[in-house]
Amino acid sequence: MQFATLNEGVVPGVPSLDELRGLKPLQQPEWPDQGALEQVIGQLRTLPPLVFAGECDDLTDKVGAVARGEAFLLQGGDCAETFDGVTAENIRAKLRVLLQMSVVLQYAASVPVVKVGRIAGQYAKPRSSGEETRDGVTLPTYRGDAVNGLEFTSEARIPDPQRLRGVYNAAAATLNLTRAFTTGGYADLHQVHAWNTDFVRSSPVGQKYERLASEIERALAFMRACGATADEFRTVDFYASHEALILEYEHALTRIDSRTEQPYDVSGHLLWIGERTRQLDGAHVEFLASLSNPLGVKIGPTTTPDYIRALIDKLNPKGIEGRLTFITRMGAGKIRDGLPPLLEAVRDHGSPIAWVCDPMHGNTFETPNGYKTRNFDDVVNEVQGFFDAHEQVGTWPGGLHVELTGDDVTECLGGGEELVAEDLVNRYETACDPRLNRHQSLELAFLVAERLRGAQA
């Protein structure tokens, strides 16, 4: 990697931070101490990359296969990561459920699965309001550990730029352990039974997984008997992604790759733009358009065909396969009507776009006992609608983007455990939005695998 000129914040081909600020970016913290902010930005510009440009290119190639209908992308992790959550057990649990979901999809549907975590950077969240009121007290809203604290106190809610350095440190630790797990034996396909031992007896979906794991074990034994011992069974390629929300952090971690002389944001492999910040003339689109990373954009029910064509022209003018992914978040009641016109517009445009379904964000509501939640049936319904829309238009349903955890939390209703509103109080642990627990995540994977079989027919 090349670091010349970065101390001054000048990255060839990338808008300067001042230029981006001039575009009045949305959803940015109101930092009270600009001097402290500039000091942290300067420190971040000198730090080593968290990911490498070559890894980003590898992911672009894999997403290209998704766009061609030759692979499926599984993207999942916390709604909002926390500094306290950077522990070996939490990281292992998230990786475990993603590995289990991917093996269900890959084996049951016979399609390669590109594995991407909402991990090592998802520390900032856009919010619908800048303030929060409790019992007559109004404070700045919690915007993620990258900005302020979750505790409802005046001191905790003050945006603190030192937290951006904390994001870098937490992301580095997370990526370090994730790489160790994925290359050091934990992700070995021969471990399919070991990933499941803690709940197989108590969970119907765990028992279903165990039967599939036994089939995989027999297949591996057959291959060993034939003399096939491929290294691909022992490690996995695993990539990190997050919403590129706080421009000071993302800009400070942008580097010029010495191989290609092109700019990459080395805070993560795949970066996405959220529903609230995807304005064509906005700072986030302008910044990400200048990068060479694979990119994602969240697409909601108000998106029009004209807009989506303009977005392609802005973010992928060269028509590079794997460069751009649209992540739909329509809501279960809107996706069957709202998605087909967009699929048709992109198909007719001719640009190679990967389509991924986020069935979480359009299906959030509050229960009578005051918990923000989602119903598993709504999540499934939106996924089914995603497949229905692609089947109608004749395009490839390329992936799934899910907020999940490897823990047995009680944050989303329904699923095989039939969680109800009164159960939410038991283990409601999210820092922001409700996540599927491990049982619900695995149940969803089996349902998606069934639809994938049909999509390949």
* pLDDT per residue as tens digits for the range 21-44: 999 999 999 999 999 999 999 999
| Mean of all residue pLDDT scores within the chain | 93
Predicted pLDDT of residue 234 = 76
Q: Does position 6 have pLDDT exceeding 70, yes or no? A: no
Which whole number is the average pLDDT over 235-243? 95
Measure the CA–CA gap between 31 and 249, rounded to whole angstroms: 13
pLDDT digits (tens, 9 = 90+) for 269-327: 999 999 999 999 999 999 999 999 999 999 999 999 999 999 999 999 999 999 999 99
pLDDT digits (tens, 9 = 90+) for 54-100: 999 999 999 999 999 999 999 999 999 999 999 999 999 999 999 99
**CB proximity list for 52: less than 8 A, separation 6 or greater:** 1, 266
* % residues pLDDT > 90 (the chain): 82
Element at 106 (helix H, strand E)? helix 88-109
Measure the CA–CA gap between 269 and 327, rounded to whole angstroms: 16
Predicted pLDDT of residue 422 = 95
| Contact (CB, 8 A) for 288 and 295 | yes
The per-residue b/e assignment along 155-171, b for 16 or more CB within 10 angstroms, e otherwise, is eebbbbbebbbbbbebb
Task: Give the distance from CA 7 to its chain's centroid.
Answer: 30
pLDDT digits (tens, 9 = 90+) for 394-422: 999 999 999 999 999 999 999 988 999 99
Which amino acid does the sequence have at 190? H
pLDDT digits (tens, 9 = 90+) for 129-160: 999 999 999 999 999 999 999 999 999 999 99
Predicted pLDDT of residue 91 = 96
C-alpha distances in angstroms, 430 versus 6, 97, 171, 219, 411? 36, 17, 19, 39, 8
Predicted pLDDT of residue 202 = 67
Predicted pLDDT of residue 5 = 39
Q: Does position 102 have pLDDT exceeding 90, yes or no? A: yes
CB atoms within 10 A of CB 184: 12
Predicted pLDDT of residue 189 = 85
Predicted pLDDT of residue 7 = 47
The per-residue b/e assignment along 78-116, b for 16 or more CB within 10 angstroms, e otherwise, is bbbbbeebbeeebbebbbbbbbbbbbbbbbbbebebbbb
Predicted pLDDT of residue 227 = 75
pLDDT digits (tens, 9 = 90+) for 110-122: 899 999 999 999 9
* % residues pLDDT > 70 (the chain): 96
Instruction: Tell me the pTM.
Output: 0.94
Predicted pLDDT of residue 217 = 84
Rounded to the nearest 5°, which phi and psi values hold at 393? -90, -20
Predicted pLDDT of residue 200 = 58
